[in-house]
Structure 1
Amino acid sequence: MERQRPPIATLLPATLLGAFLALALLVGPGASTAAAAGCPGSDAGPRKISNETAARAIVCLVNKERRRHGLGRLKFHGELERAARGHTKRMQKRDCFDHVCPGERSLVGRYEKADYLPCRCSWGAGENIAWGAGRKGSPRRIVNAWMHSPPHRANILRGSFQHAGVGVRWGSPTRRGANAGTYTLDFGYKR
């Protein structure tokens, strides 16, 4: 016996509803708003909060994502914070949005300069960078963008990472005077 196909009029609304729900999950408030709860400054746009508050909000939001996935929290690490701040400053100063700007050391070189490395241990390093103008420059929007980007998401959810340092500066690495926020999130572990 041959199965009858449902008429197109039945399939189309179901397909459209499915597409709408998928889109709502991607851009809707859902998990992002829930993740932002309890992270002061997470919804503030550029220049509305201090750089330090924005940096703490980034780590708070990242830790909420890690907790949702059964991972341990990242701890602020002063040396990584120094490396991240230096890179964020360099990106803006050099009009460069990249992991290595002209005249700058590699990620490992920046970790060495900040005294996170070398060590007589096993270690790992990773970095996420982002910038956003207006409301897209809030810590919540930045973390949400990272979570929707496979390589950035992989850094956030890498179980071996233990430490984090965040560099935040108001302004854009590519447009002078923009109402924007530029972020560097450096990850590491040492064992």
Structure 2
Amino acid sequence: MLRTLLRLITVLLLSIVLVARFGAPALLASEISSTYLVEQANHDRQEEGLNPLKYNKKLERAAFLKAENMLKQQYWAHYGPNKESPWQFILQSGYTYAYAGENLAKGFSDSQSVHDAWMASPTHRANIMDAQFQEVGIAVVKGKLLGSDVFLVVQMFGSPTYQSPSGTQKNPKLNIEYPRDGDILEDGITDIKGSATDLSDPAVTLYLNKTLLGSTQVTNSIFSLTSPLTAAQGDQTIVAKAVGVGDIFITDSVVVTIINSKTEAIGISKTCITSKQRTADILVSYECQRVNTGFTATIGSTRFTQGANEREISIPLNSLPKENAKVILTVLFENGASSAFSSTLSELGRGKTDVTSAGTTESSFKFPNINVRNWVFGVFGLAFVLLALYAGELAYKRQLLTHRFELMSFILFLGILLITFNFGFVRV
């Protein structure tokens, strides 16, 4: 019986290894679902009273082209080493946009972690919650980037027509449509777009902090200027001027915030996070060796930050809601990157206490990281347990010496499968 079961599991593992080695992208891509990411984005948008995003195949194609380009050119950024921009992939896919945006993520193994990380990052959240965007397309691509096997998730946003932002302008015949007042721009590089009518001179001049930024021509009542905003990070003011019929048109000031674009959403193992419930609080710790500069926990509208130790957060029990609320944990790293995890209060250990010898009540919890890789390693573990039981059965029957070559073959074959699987499978 044990022998038959061991053979069946060995055949199963052989099949899994072959799929993982030669067909892993199709198998694992299902763990990060484009449909789920769109549903989550629309859920959050609708809670804010925003229009739901429609899925667009051309934007999906643009996202795939961007991911392929990053793998080919070996870079991880919105702009490539050869000045590749997100917008060229959107146009290359045949999508004519008036307004567009891009989110990136890598190193994640499930859809919820990707969405939580984006929503925890101000720039990525701004794209998801942007009222201007009407459509979205997503690509999930597995490949080797900068020496590591990872999944790249590219989310492209677009609007084929302008959606006028709320608020009034000094002159409705001259408008800055993008960026909008309050937008966050990464690395200070942006396309400035707007509309203009009834001009005596088809030229619009743009100013950054009262300094000339550049001029551009109006075509079909639309103007656009691509220019690096090299100002320091922080709030910057953009104004457009043009000569109208009998008057000079001036737009309202558009104030944008420029930040460093290295706040990409980067996934790390949830096993880096542990929690311990104490008498008066829950202590949440970040235990991995990567250098981090910030650690926060968000429960509803309340945010808890780390103390003197940047790797620990104390969440007072008397400040927690009664229900099992969702918790977002965000780690900020030295290079500006961020990672976010989603949990619940019950997972953090509330209500799961043990009396210690010191008389305090404590419990410890590690975030589970169950995925396809871990499940398959569990099957390998079962195979080795069965192998040990089979060896014990043979020893009991005094047949161990007779079947020694069979046992050695099983051990060797399982070892080869394990090594092949480990090096042929994506590392997350």
Q: TM-score, normalised by structure 2?
A: 0.30
Give the drift of 1:105: 3.3
What letter is aligned with 2:160? K
Q: Which of these residues, 129, 134, 137, is aligned with residue 109 of structure 2?
A: 137
Question: What is the SS of the residue equivalent to 1:137?
Answer: coil
Is the counterpart of residue 61 in structure 1 residue 36 in structure 2? Answer: no
CA-to-partner distance for each residue in 1:77-110, whole Å, 9 max, x for gaps?
1111111011112212222111122346322222
Deviations 1:52-75 (A, max 9, x none): 972222212211121222211111
Q: Please tell me the root mean square deviation across aligned C-alpha atoms, in Å.
A: 2.3
Q: Tell me if structure 1 keeps the 8 A contact 2:71–2:145.
A: yes
**Structure 1 position 125 matched with structure 2 position 125:** no
Specify whether residues 170 and 86 from structure 1 end up closer, same or farther in structure 2 by C-alpha distance, changes over 3 A only.
same
Partner of 2:420: none
- Equivalence map 1:25-174=2 (5 Å): 48-50=27-29, 54-103=33-82, 105-117=84-96, 123-132=98-107, 136-171=108-143, 173-174=145-146
CA distance in 2, matches of 1:164, 1:172: 25
Which position in structure 2 is the counterpart of 1:186?
156
CA distance in 1, matches of 2:96, 2:158: 10
Change (3 A) 1:140 1:48: farther
Q: How much has 1:160 moved relative to structure 2? A: 1.3
In 1: Cα distance, 2:116 partner to 2:110 partner? 10
Counterpart contact for 1:125–1:186, Cα < 8 Å: yes
| Structure whose residues are more often helix by fraction | 1
Taking a change above 3 Å as real, the CA distance of residues 58 and 153 of structure 1, as seen in their structure-2 partners, is same
Q: Which has the higher contact order (CA 8 A, sep 6+)?
A: 1
Distance in 1 of aligned mates of 2:115 and 2:61? 20
Matched, 1:175 2:175: no
Identity of aligned residues (%): 31
- AA partner of residue 130 (structure 2): R
Q: Distance in 2 between matches of 1:73 and 1:90?
A: 29
* In 1: Cα distance, 2:137 partner to 2:30 partner: 13
Q: Distance in 2 between matches of 1:109 and 1:160?
A: 20
Indicate the structure (1 or 2) with the bigger Cα radius of gyration. Answer: 2
Contact residue 138 and residue 181 of structure 1 kept, 8 A: no
C-alpha distance in structure 1 between counterparts of 2:138 and 2:51, whole Å = 18
Is the contact made by 1:168 and 1:182 (CA closer than 8 Å) also made in structure 2? yes
Gaps of 5+ in 2: 1-24, 162-428
- CA 1:75 to 1:53, structure 2 compared with 1: closer, same or farther past 3 Å? farther
Mapped to 2, the partners of 1:86 and 1:111 lie a distance apart of 9
CA 1:188/1:174 → structure 2, altered by over 3 Å: closer, same or farther?
same
* Bigger strand share: 2
Instruction: Give 5+ residue unaligned stretches, structure 1.
Output: 1-45
How far apart are the structure 1 equivalents of 2:155 and 2:99?
A: 14
What's the offset of the Cα at 1:155? 0.4
- Separation in 1, partners of 2:117, 2:76: 16
- C-alpha contact 1:124 1:189 (8 A) present in aligned 2: yes
Partner secondary structure for residue 139 of structure 2: strand
Give, in whole Å, the separation in 2 of the partners of 1:67 and 1:172: 36
Where in structure 1 do 4 or more consecutive aligned residues deviate above 4 Å? 46-49
